[in-house]
Amino acid sequence: MLFDPTVSDATFVDGRPPKDIKNTIETIREEMGLDGDCPWSLISARTKLGRVLFEIEEETSFGPRRLIGKLGNPERAVNLHRTLISLRNAGFKPPARLVVPEPVACLPERGLVLQEKVAGRHASDLLLESSMRATFAAADCGRWLAALHQCDVPAAPVCIDPDAVSKWATELAETLPDRENELDEIATGIRKALPCNVGRSVPTHGDFHPMNILIKGTQRVTGIDIDKFGAREAEADIGWFLMQSAAFGFFKTGTFKATELARRAFIKCYEGETGEPIRPDRTALYVAMAFLKNLHFELVLLKTGHTEYATPWLKGAAAFLEGNLYLSENP
């Protein structure tokens, strides 16, 4: 919800306004010991999946600056704050081109993280523009991810629970009873492949998709929402990005093909930056798992009723398990 109608570039315009957000912000200021220093103006705020997101403008001696606040899970708040500090210490800060937001404050008991608002356009918007703009944006996403995977920031191991895969399929079958066999086959295929040919772990984003990359021309590429940072196979991030990129294209055009060139550019740049080819089998596995998880999120957790996504999403998962890495007619 927009609280300041004079602002044209607010972040959280849509969505349900948080209850008592102004009082919450005043309490946060007191807990931070700000009192009358550096006044804040509330710009926008909303609730999303149990979290409160807000945008403020802070008056400083250098002029006003925008900040983004997030109130949610305390453990993830601490992980995000520490991750931003560590990554910036490792070089993900200006004048470098590949950066993360500047952390400002963290109140663990509140699950609060406060950080700078980042300038730029979401890569998800750019991937659907002209083919040249889309491939440049996708390449920047690959470039940022390659830098993250090659950095030396310590990351806690994150394990995948195979039982979660079965749970997604079982709960989806309750909503899509006519797809029960198909769901079971996909879940079984994923579970069988998970323990095979596991690669080394690297620092990963944990929710790497085009909405979590902001691009400001040739100046900055910023990764955001890194509260799931941890050590995983590189293909976990790569697969999630490929699936989400395909989904964004489908939402806009009704076909996965809309972002195929961009997805190919992403892989090409990532491989060029790391100097190693991706592992197609593990990447395909993680994309298939992402399709299943995303469909579960849409139909079971959010209960959107968009059952029309079932056919393309399940076909996509099956195609990846069969090795069609780009969902193309000529894989």
Provide the number of structural domains found in the chain: 2
Would you list the DSSP string of 250-279?
Answer: HHHHSSGGGGHHHHHHHHHHHHHHHTS---
Q: Look at residue 4 and tell me if it is in a domain.
A: no
pLDDT given for residue 329 in this prediction: 57
Confidence band (pLDDT; 50, 70, 90) for 177? very high
Q: Look at residue 175 and tell me if it is in a domain.
A: yes
* Mean pLDDT value of segment 127-136: 92
Name the residue range of residue 256's domain: 121-321
pLDDT given for residue 275 in this prediction: 98
Ranges assigned E (strand) in the chain: 40-48, 51-60, 63-71, 98-99, 103-107, 112-116, 121-122, 201-204, 213-216, 220-223, 230-233
Confidence band (pLDDT; 50, 70, 90) for 266? very high
**Same-domain pairing of 223 and 305:** yes
Q: Look at residue 152 and tell me if it is in a domain.
A: yes
**Same-domain pairing of 128 and 106:** no
Last residue of a domain, one of 116, 149, 169: 116
**Is residue 106 a contact partner of residue 114, using CB atoms and an 8 Å limit?**
yes
**Same-domain pairing of 104 and 172:** no
For the cut 80, the answer to whether the pLDDT of residue 149 exceeds it is: yes
Q: Look at residue 16 and tell me if it is in a domain.
A: no
* Mean pLDDT value of segment 297-321: 95
Last residue of a domain, one of 92, 116, 140: 116
pLDDT given for residue 76 in this prediction: 94
**Same-domain pairing of 232 and 217:** yes
For the cut 80, the answer to whether the pLDDT of residue 37 exceeds it is: no
**Same-domain pairing of 88 and 171:** no
For the cut 50, the answer to whether the pLDDT of residue 263 exceeds it is: yes
pLDDT given for residue 331 in this prediction: 43
- Backbone dihedral angles phi then psi of residue 156, each to the nearest 5 degrees: -70, 140
**Same-domain pairing of 55 and 146:** no
Confidence band (pLDDT; 50, 70, 90) for 35? confident
**Same-domain pairing of 200 and 107:** no
Over residues 7-19, the pLDDT tens digits come to 999 999 998 899 9
